[in-house]
Structures are given as structure tokens and as C-alpha cells.
Amino acid sequence: MLSGLALVLLAAWTARALEVPTDGNAGLLAEPQVAMFCGKLNMHMNVQNAKWESDPSGTKTCIGTKEGILQYCQEVYPELQITNVVEANQPVTIQNWCKRGRKQCKTHGHIVIPYRCLVGEFVSDALLVPDKCKFLHQERMDVCETHLHWHTVAKETCSEKSTNLHDYGMLLPCGIDKFRGVEFVCCPLAEESDNIDSADAEEDDSDVWWGGADTDYPDGSEDKVVEVAEEEEVTDGEEEEAEDDCTVIAYDHDSFLHCIT
């Protein structure tokens, strides 16, 4: 009787041990991510304290392929089962970028689009749907496209419905940073009463490019390229490398950093 009970308990324990968690990031304080800025050492998110840290080897910089980014994720997170990568939806500002061979890192920040290092079996993002907003999705089994492609699909679909894209996530991975679909949330356009329409405010903000969805471009083009003006102090005769080969590419209200390698 006791031996039979022991076998049942052993079988239950074994089944529990073999279970794969649905969320590969469970128990982590932050999602594993990596970020790059050409000319500086790569950065990665410390999943235990949610802080960005420089490349642990002190040698890795600016990776040019998605396969290379996936491999780098696997190198900096050896304890996690990294299976894919995808670009983050929003840019972030990261401080303390280091140069190879330099002991001190500058506190000057750079705006970049990180790559999320996906753990385990793919699980689609849980999107919040605010009041009066709609959850939609599109899948194409004959298509295998990038994050940028599906972001454009989601944004154009919301625009056709006279709404704004609120949030989105990838569906059905079919390669490294490639997917067969997108889920997204469309929200109503802001009421005109919510906008500042006083003449004084318009005059004060005349020199500011907000990059909003309602921006009126004189040439009819919605895609604008804005150069990033980097300002870093030069101390003790130190000669900084040129960083004007990096640009923020703005599509309406969304911005993406592109560094020419």
C-alpha cells in the first residue's frame, strides 16, 4: 500500500517538474533586453534589478544581423532559454554608454530601440483594451514579415477606421524577428475639446515639432527624418568619434533609431 502511494507521489512530482511555464519571464524583475548604439559597447537589461548594464565582455558592439542579436541575447542571458528576438514597440533613453577600452563611461544618454529577448515558447503579449477602444488582429499564413511591417499594418488599419493605434504585439513567429500576424488595439481620436486651441498657445509652440498624428507636412509626406544632435563634453584632449551617422526616423508619432554600420 505504501509503495503504491509512493509511486503515485513520485509520478505527480515528476509531472510537475516537467511542466513548462507559460511565461518565460516569471519571477524576473525585468524583461531580458539588449540595446546597441554604434561606436559604444552593447547594453543589456539586468533582469534582477531592472537596470541597464554594459557588455560583460567589454568587447561587443553594434551587431548588424538578427541572427547575431539572438546569439548575443543567449550569451548575456545564459541561464534563460532565449528562443527569438523582437524589436520593442517604443524607444527608450539609456545612460552610461561605454567605449571599448575606456574605464569611465559617460552619463550622456542615447535614445534607442531595444530588442526584447524572448524566453521559451512564444506567448503573445497581453494587451490592455481601454474603454471605447477595440481589440483587433490580423494573420496571414502566407506572409512572414518583420516587426516594422506588422506595425505599419496595425497603424494603417486603425487609421482606416478613423482611430489611433494604442498598442500592438506580434503573433505567430516564423523566423528570427519575423511573424505571420499582429494583434493591436485601436482607440478613438482625441476630442477637439481635449486639444489646446488657443491662439496664444499656438504662437508659443510654433517652433516645436510635436510629431503627432495630425501633423501637417507641407510636402504631403508623412515620413520625416530628424537628425539627432549629440552633445558630449570633450575632456583632456579626448577626441570623440562622430555619431552623426545615427538618425531618429520618425513615422508620425513613432520614432526609430537607425545607426549606419
Residue where a domain stops, chosen among 164, 188, 212: 188
Distances 144 to 3, 25, 176 between C-alpha atoms, Å: 54, 26, 10
184 and 149 assigned to the same domain = yes
111 and 45 assigned to the same domain = yes
**Lowest mean pLDDT across 49-63, 71-85, 196-210:** 196-210
142 and 106 assigned to the same domain = no
Nearest 5 degrees, angle CA 119-CA 89-CA 26?
30
pLDDT tens digits for 102-152?
A: 767 777 889 999 999 999 999 999 999 999 999 999 999 999 999 999 999
Q: By C-alpha distance, which of 158, 176, 161 is closest to 254?
A: 158
pLDDT tens digits for 65-100?
A: 999 999 999 999 999 999 999 999 999 999 989 888
**193 in any annotated domain:** no
Residue where a domain stops, chosen among 188, 207, 233: 188
Using the structure block, give the residue that is written with the C-alpha cell 485601436: 186
Please state the pTM of the whole predicted model: 0.65
Rg (CA), the chain: 23
pLDDT tens digits for 11-40?
A: 443 333 333 333 455 567 889 999 999 889
**258 in any annotated domain:** no
Residue where a domain stops, chosen among 146, 163, 188: 188
**207 in any annotated domain:** no
Q: How many folded domains does the chain comprise?
A: 2
**243 in any annotated domain:** no
Q: Which three cell numbers stand for residue 5?
A: 502511494
pLDDT tens digits for 221-252?
A: 333 333 333 434 444 444 444 444 444 433 34
101 and 159 assigned to the same domain = no
Name the residue range of residue 67's domain: 33-119
Nearest 5 degrees, angle CA 4-CA 5-CA 8?
90
**194 in any annotated domain:** no
**4 in any annotated domain:** no
